[in-house]
Amino acid sequence: MWTEIALFFCGAVIGHLVPRMTWLVLPRFESWNQQFPPHPEPIPVDEYLTQRVLNMRTFNRLSIVFAMIPLGFGLASLVYGSLGLGLGMWMTSCWTLLARVVGLLDKGSPWNIEMAQELQLVRNSSVSEDRCCNSAMPVWQVMAVRCSACNEILLSRARPDLGRPRSDGFVKGTLRLILSEGHPLARSASAEHVGKTLK
């Protein structure tokens, strides 16, 4: 009985983690992050950032493919092996699959096309005539995109996880990411302070 319960939890953890390996592990290699300052420093709003947001979106969508692995093994375990392990894997991977398919509409995802477009708009504004100041340099801080020269808020959007290796260590950082699903932990800065670029 207890063994089955332990196996169920074991299966549930595997079924939960395997589909998330795409964005939890893949973007965090050092060679993928050389153009970015270390976490949690502000990240410059440039073409690399826009590309990273789009890559994170792709990695997140790949979870659908990765969810098939515990789904298959879970089913096999249900039929031929341990009921607890199979049920655990099957339930969590089914749940992830469902959540990701619904998330294909981009609404619930921490990384989406609108985000990349908004960042691009900020970039365009920072070199246009009505930029915030003469040495405009947009950076994405935890709470919002601000100009690092004049500190004006250019985009009121809290920063999600961007795939950089975590400053709080592998175990603590990964645990935080699993709980937050990549969403920002902080709420975005007040919209009333949004700078003239988006008015």
Binding part of the chain for Zn ion, among 5-13, 29-37, 54-62, 127-135 by CB under 5 A, reads 127-135
The answer to whether 47 touches 122, Cβ cutoff 8 Å, is: no
Report which residue's Cβ sits closest to Zn ion. Answer: 147
Residue 136 sits in the site that holds Zn ion (CB under 5 A): yes
Residue closer to Zn ion (CB basis): 62 or 150? 150
CA count, 13 A, side-chain hemisphere, 42: 16
Closest separation in Å from C-beta 89 to Zn ion:
51
Two structure tokens written together for 33: 């992050």
Name which of 87 and 139 has its Cβ closer to Zn ion: 139
Q: Which is nearer to Zn ion, 71 or 189 (CB)?
A: 189
How near is the Cβ of 148 to Zn ion at its closest, in Å? 8
DSSP E strands in 38-173: the ranges are: 43-44, 138-140, 145-147, 153-155
Binding track over 82-121 against Zn ion, x by CB under 5 A? ----------------------------------------
H helix count then E strand count, the chain: 5, 4
Residue 149 engages Zn ion in binding (rule: CB under 5 A): yes
Site for Zn ion in 8-27 (CB under 5 A): none
Residues 24, 139, 147, 189: which binds Zn ion (CB under 5 A)?
A: 147
- CA–CA distance, 113 with 91 (Å, rounded to integer): 30
Among 26, 83, 91, 150, binds Zn ion (CB under 5 A): 150
What are the CA-CA distances from residue 59 to residues 24, 37, 100, 146, 167 (Å)? 9, 21, 11, 27, 21
Instruction: Please name the residue that has the structure tokens 């690092």.
Output: 148
Q: Does 56 bind Zn ion (CB under 5 A)?
A: no
User: Does the protein bind Zn ion through residue 198 (CB under 5 A)?
Assistant: no
How far is Cα 65 from Cα 97, in angstroms, rounded to an integer?
9
Let me know how long the chain is.
199
Q: How far is the CB of 72 from Zn ion (least distance, A)?
A: 52
Q: Is 133 in the site for Zn ion (CB under 5 A)?
A: yes
Dihedral angle computed from the Cα positions of residues 148, 160, 115 and 92, in that order, rounded to the nearest 10 degrees: 170
Query: In the complex, which residues of this chain contact Zn ion (CB under 5 A)?
Result: 132-133, 136, 147, 149-150
